[in-house]
Amino acid sequence: MSEQDLFNGLIATYRDLNFKVRSLPEARLKLGRSRDTVRSVIVDLRDDELRFSQALKERLTGVPMTNVFGSEDEPETPEVASSDDTTVEVLSQFGTARESTLAMLRGMAPEAWDDTSQGPVTIRAAIDALLANDTVHLEKVVRLLGSPSPG
């Protein structure tokens, strides 16, 4: 995938979430079992983005990028929220973290996308994995809201 396609995909996730979630009442977003609600999916997505953004920052400063999606060596998620935050607040936190990721990617040299000198996972491959993670989470949101599947 081209760098522009990756950027577009990252931006589309936040746009789609805003479209599907932002205008809904909080009660609807918390409807379901504790770990099977739209809110919980958004919290997971935000936490994944925070870990990813931190790993990208470390990679760009010379630290090998870890497997940020489920490894035992997974970096801890920085604390940014309380359990009292509304889903819309959590969505905004996701957007802030995603913008940080995009800003770091915009500042990269073109050759950095496929560089393997700091480990076998390229930034391009890591972004592909992040987009796949986004897709899984968006599909969960759609399922929980009972909406037709995207695209």
The per-residue pLDDT for range 55-92, each reduced to its tens digit, is 999 888 875 555 555 544 544 545 555 678 999 999 99
Domain that holds residue 124: 3-145
Tens digit of each residue's pLDDT (9 = 90 or more) over 43-56: 999 999 999 999 99
- What is the domain-level CATH number for residue 139? 1.20.120.450
Q: What residues have CB less than 8 Å from 117, skipping those under 6 apart?
A: none
Looking at the structure of the chain, the number of domains it has is 1
- Look at residue 150 and tell me if it is in a domain: no
- Look at residue 36 and tell me if it is in a domain: yes
CA nearest 41: which of 117, 137, 143, 114? 137
Q: What is the pTM of this model?
A: 0.83
- Look at residue 128 and tell me if it is in a domain: yes
